[in-house]
Chain A
């Protein structure tokens, strides 16, 4: 530091680095010669000038930033379409660094962060962006839907419901009815996955009440309704769908399944056969069709059967039931010949008593006997299903028949 000097005129300290006193008017040049009012006027003019210059510079810079933001956003969309999620994330972030407040960029970044394959922390970041967006626009349905998906991913049922409802009742920019319906459908699927059947049922009822004549949608909702509410309402939707498109395979399969569940195997077989005919890829429907046909083939109580055929079926069912009983007893290590209190042993005794008469020639003459034989058959199938697990093939058909006869359906 150089030694301090004082101005001879005003007595003030002359600051470091200054040769002359900057406070004395005589050394200030032109500006010091101005009056205070003149200088104030100049300041005001200068202020206006600076406002204009600053506005101009800021505008140009904003345009530059906007250009970069759009460029990076476009790149991000391209990367996202090409499946390069990491690159897309970097692009969207770059876009946002130039346009911090752009809600579209924030939403796209959040959506990219939620894409499968990103680390779990990405979800938290996405949530932050989405919550910020929601703060600004609580009624934004898209944001609510993305938040609902995040909550669903985290199995947070209350939040998921809250945000899905936000999406259902929120504002959509285009096709709000379809989007609300899709959001509700998504909510139903989530609730069913999470095991909240009651809530799902309530949503489905609301959804079913307002469906357009769209067979795909009607069938989808019908299928879901079948899962949570039984078949009556579902069948109505399948019928509506089939009115729109009579050969729609999914609706045919759904109808068939409903009839199957109702124990109406003849109807089920008809629908399922049509469904498989329309779409051979419907493997589940094909399997169900086989079961339905097996039930129909083994049922001795079918109408339009002659006595002999009825008796032949009952005898065959009895033989099959006995085989099932023996295999189940062997599986569980139970000696059927020994006396005991195990239900299988009791059933074995009953079957042994009926076995000599369970022949087509006796059964065709004695409908009472046929009923007794079939009762034992159903008893065996139900007891073995309970003791040894679900039956397969012929036994499954007999078991279904037993449940139908017993008034219960799977």
Chain B
């Protein structure tokens, strides 16, 4: 007897879901996710971070192709171009860029870092999408036609703009939309640099200024996504071929210290030049803004007749400097002319970034110092490539004033952790010199010149925290025990000048009661009772001497005093702190 089949017959070609049904299902699924059954807003935020990373990565890939293609069309395919092209292309390019910026994309001008910060701190995360389009077109034109600027800063802003647009369209809360711009900024920068760690650190160090775990995850996710996309399309090779590094002799560290000093001085010169020229050019009549980028282009073209390396971002030449292809004299001149040409490009209002020029100047300067050392002390030095690499970080620390990013950038780009000692020495010296002689960092300077007072991350990092130990005073009264009888306690309180009576128990918990309240409670019926029966069951919040005053203030609430107790021995009262002491400590700290 044939048994009936237990399962229904399966068709060899099951019908595919019809398109409308499939989309409807997907939509239903998304709706289910976003309605909170599974995907909360925080999770959606992380998903969005990944999407932002993907979009930013794609934009940066297209942006880089646009720059390279423009350069190819403008200057031809050879390594050298006729002098007419060298002069005409940046000049005409400058004119076109100026026209586009003034007429169509006014927000494309200026630093992308500051505009992203402005979005975070002033405009609730709002960056208009036409800024993204403007940055893309004008920067590709400017850099492709030889202006001495880089693609990283615009990439950062494009990422931030994409993030802002997506965040707003998805109707995230105001707080989330405000945080989304840095997420996109990290993605853009990571794709442009092909270095996710440096991008994340930069955004934390310069844009948001704190390690907020909520946004940190999103930033990392977006940076990684964008780098994956960038590597997918452009390959996973680093921006430069990294030379082998090994410390030949400990005395070589002195040369790295000298590089730090040279980097610090060069950074100062660079910042001072921009700080001096930018407001003066901005103050010129508006019509001159149409011609300023063209004039900058002409100047760069003239420099390019002798040093074509200064034109554009110059990554190829950084690679050559790392591999010993220039004499130290040429390298020093390249560093000097790059400072000049980048300053001219930037102050003229041409859109573009400062990262690549900073790396270029640092690499040339580093290789020049390495070359000099190799010339005079050949037994002390290795190849100049390591100096060029360290030099890049040095200028990053000195000029952009992002010390943490500068160290990690070199480590990430080189993939060689043994280079950390020279990097730290050189970067620290450059940073300190720059900090000493130029109080305001470049980004803060630019934002103040633009009439905005954005929070300075550098100042925030260097803010001196006031601690409880700076404010606390000795407790003038007698500390009572919770088992003390009310009558006895009242007598001790009377003898004290304090208006607030501090009470301890044997478990190291602290209680308190106002003296007048104690009086009110001390009726004859309660005279024999202990303090425990009268005091509220909840102990007082306490602080430790190393707590910041903000924390003390938060815990103080309406209380007149807070006990300050020892961290190792909770029963030991170090002192007390009240509102008056806190205010006094703040006053002293800011005098």
Contacts and interface: CB of A to CB of B under 8 A. Distances in A.
Interface of A: 1, 12-13, 15-18, 22-23, 25, 28, 31-32, 35-41, 43, 47, 50-51, 53-55, 57-58, 61, 64-65, 68, 71-72, 90, 93-94, 97-98, 100-101, 121, 124-125, 128-129, 131-132
A93 B79 CA distance: 8
Given A41-B27, A43-B166, A58-B233, A12 B78 contact: no
Contacts of A16: 123
Given A43-B51, A50-B55, A128-B243, A18 B34 contact: no
Contacts, number: 110
Nearest to A113: B325
A17 B128 contact: yes
Give the top 7 A-B pairs by smallest Cβ distance, nearest first: A37-B30, A37-B31, A128-B323, A15-B123, A68-B77, A124-B324, A50-B58
A364 B97 CA distance: 112
B170 interface: yes
A132 B324 CA distance: 14
Contacts of B124: 12-13, 23
Interface string B91-119: 00000000000000011000000000000
Contacts of A35: 31
Give the most central of B33, B58, B237, B244: most A CB within 10 Å.
Answer: B58
A18 B65 contact: no
8 contacts: A12-B124, A17-B107, A23-B126, A31-B169, A35-B31, A50-B58, A93-B79, A128-B243
Contacts of A25: 171
Contacts of A129: 323
Contacts of B107: 17
A40 B170 contact: yes
B168 A58 contact: no
A51 B243 contact: no
B61 A54 contact: yes
B34 A125 contact: no
B571 interface: no
B31 A125 contact: no
B323 A97 contact: no
A97 B316 contact: yes
B170 A58 contact: no
Contact of B65 (A31, A39, A58): A58
B451 interface: yes
A54 B56 CA distance: 12
Given A54-B58, A57-B62, A61-B68, A36 B79 contact: no
Give the most central of B77, B233, B234: most A CB within 10 Å.
Answer: B77
Contacts of A101: 235, 237
Give the most central of B55, B68, B323: most A CB within 10 Å.
Answer: B323
Interface in B16-39: 23, 26-27, 30-31, 33-34
B21 to A, nearest CB: 14
A90 B126 contact: no
A396 to B, nearest CB: 48
Interface residues of B, number: 51
A22 B128 contact: yes
B272 interface: no
A39 B237 CA distance: 35
Interface of B: 23, 26-27, 30-31, 33-34, 51, 54-55, 58, 61-62, 65, 68-69, 72, 77-80, 106-107, 122-124, 126, 128, 166, 168-171, 174, 177, 233-235, 237, 241, 243-244, 316, 323-325, 327, 383, 385, 451-452
B434 to A, nearest CB: 29
A12 B123 CA distance: 8
Contacts of A38: 27
Given A22-B168, A58-B233, A71-B77, A40 B324 contact: no
B122 A17 contact: no
Contacts of B237: 100-101
Nearest to A101: B237
B248 to A, nearest CB: 16
A299 to B, nearest CB: 59
A98 B65 CA distance: 12
Contact of B171 (A36, A72, A100): A36
Contacts of A128: 241, 243, 323-324, 385
Contacts of A131: 244
Nearest to A71: B77
A100 to B, nearest CB: 7
A37 B325 contact: no
Given A17-B106, A50-B55, A58 B61 contact: yes
Contacts of B51: 43, 47
Contact of A23 (B33, B58, B168): B168
Nearest to B122: A13
A325 B128 CA distance: 107
Given A13-B124, A101-B235, A121 B324 contact: yes
Nearest to B80: A90
B106 A57 contact: no
A22 B126 contact: yes
B31 A15 contact: no
Contacts of A22: 126, 128, 168
Nearest to A50: B58
Given A100-B237, A101-B235, A61 B61 contact: no
A54 B136 CA distance: 14
